Chain A
Amino acid sequence: MISINAAIIDLKRLELLAGRYSPIHVLDARVKVLVTLVFIVSVVSFGRYELVRLLPFFIFPAVMIPLANLPTLYLARKIALLSPFVLMVGLFNPVFDRNALYQFGQLGISGGWISLASLLIRSLLTVGAAFILVGTTGFTSVCQAVERLGIPRIFAVQLLFLHRYIFVLADETGTAARARELRSCGKRGLGVVSFGSQMGHLLLRTWQRAERIHTAMLARGFVGEFHSHRQSRFGVSELCFLLGWLSLFIALRYYDIPGALGEFVTGTAP
């Protein structure tokens, strides 16, 4: 019960971050969506054993988080919450892929371990970028931006409703879980027997609540379009932001900058 309510508050906090003002927050949502998209594509397009060349991409969160005044610890915690799922995905890489890729004296590091580490770093970077995007833009503006970038409106509105429905569902689940817990006297209640009907009730209640919210939206002139009161325009700062990051990502993707740096420092080719 507490964890559900805490999760809602946590989720709402991410949305609230978007209401702040910073040089990043005031930028047009479209450039932030584009930059994030190119960042994610660049990061995931590396080979599975790539590790070192991913590291320079940390410059993106390292610059964006302080500039946007986002709480680092909070974001780190949110990303860490997802890491068990990533570990599950890559868990068997070290078991099946035992070819040693690197050899340090007697110790050989297999390709499996390298690919697992690469997967973790990629998830850190991409999930982090997505959180930075939502934290500096807000989900509503992200949806508006993707619509203005050419995604059909129906998809954008569906996404928005999905986002709203998460809060409605979570609120109702929190209430239902509390009611159940209070009447099960510290035991497991009726267990699975009551679970089915509880889920059914939850669905119906959420449905009704979502309908009431929709009615409230209709009563205030909602016709399937979300408007934003923040004026957005594609100006010089947007252009600099877009070109700056894009050229950096492309350079990092096509040129082995850590390798070149190593070569420059040690004087030998890697």
Chain B
Amino acid sequence: MSHHIVEVKNLRHVYPDGTIAIIDVSFRITHGESVAIIGANGAGKSTLLQHLNGCLEPTGGDILIGDTPLSKSTLPDIRRTVGMLFQNPDDQLFMPTVFDDVAFGPLNLGLTVEHIEKRVADALDLVGAGHLRDKPPYHLSGGEKKRVAIATVLAMSPDILVMDEPTSGLDPFARRQLMNLLRGFHHTKIFTSHDLDMVLELCGRTIILHEGLIMADAPTAEIFRNEELLSACRLEKPLSMQGCPLCRQTPST
């Protein structure tokens, strides 16, 4: 059995106030795939992600992680398997120091204190944040916070990484650094993002979500060539595929 497979079957989610966020969504993501879920604001991306480790309960349909259906009894195991990176690192970092924050997950997993030290050090080194271990999270810059947030997830040794807008709010250098880091991970990766250039670079497959339904599920390059589809879903081509704005302004004759 592989833990690295995510299967969503006929997922439906209706919020208590009656808002239908997801109408009917099905897909299967296999071992080692890097998949982007893109769509306009309010398309249901974040709602979908929150189902993948049981933060939200589906109104209908099933979610399988590996061969395990997501249910109350399997939740602890699934939460270890699926590491979730939140959009706002401030929501994710809540302990007094970086070390405490990264140790939070492994301590909950029941690791002994001797193992914690190594686990935390390894996770922080992997994201290049070893020197921040004794700092309070609210004193870090945006890029540092994001990297520490990733370390908090990696410290739990997940098989699947689920990331909500990983590059949002980062400066170009920090964004590039983060993308290189993510490229090096061999986990199954699922992103949501409006950073379509990052999607183009990191994800082989893209799913377009529009008003709670899947509009397309295909290789990323193929999707970004379909301008009609993109504009119907309130999206556009990544900037790197749009050509140079200066050159376009140059008269052709």
Interface on B for A, CB 8 Å cutoff? 50, 53-55, 76, 79-80, 83-84, 86, 88, 91-92, 94, 96-97, 99-100, 103-105, 107-109, 113, 116-117, 134, 136, 138, 152-153, 156
Contacts and interface: CB of A to CB of B under 8 A. Distances in A.
A244 interface: no
Contacts of B108: 220-223, 225, 227
Interface of A: 12, 15-16, 18-19, 138, 140, 164, 209, 212-213, 215-223, 225, 227-231
B94 A217 contact: yes
Main secondary structure on B side of the interface with A = helix
B103 A221 contact: no
Nearest to B152: A220
B55 A218 contact: yes
A221 B136 contact: no
A221 B109 contact: yes
A212 B138 CA distance: 17
Contacts of B138: 12
Contacts, number: 69
A225 B104 CA distance: 11
Ranked nearest first, the 5 interchain pairs of A and B with the lowest CB-CB distance are A221-B108, A227-B107, A220-B105, A212-B91, A219-B84
Given A19-B134, A229-B107, A231-B113, A221 B76 contact: yes
B105 A221 contact: yes
B5 to A, nearest CB: 19
B94 A164 contact: yes
Given A16-B136, A19-B134, A215 B104 contact: no
A12 B108 CA distance: 24
A204 B150 CA distance: 28
A207 B84 CA distance: 21
Contacts of B97: 16, 19
B101 to A, nearest CB: 9
A222 B54 CA distance: 13
A220 B88 CA distance: 16
A25 to B, nearest CB: 13
Contacts of A225: 108
10 contacts: A16-B96, A19-B134, A212-B91, A213-B91, A216-B84, A223-B76, A223-B108, A227-B107, A229-B107, A231-B113
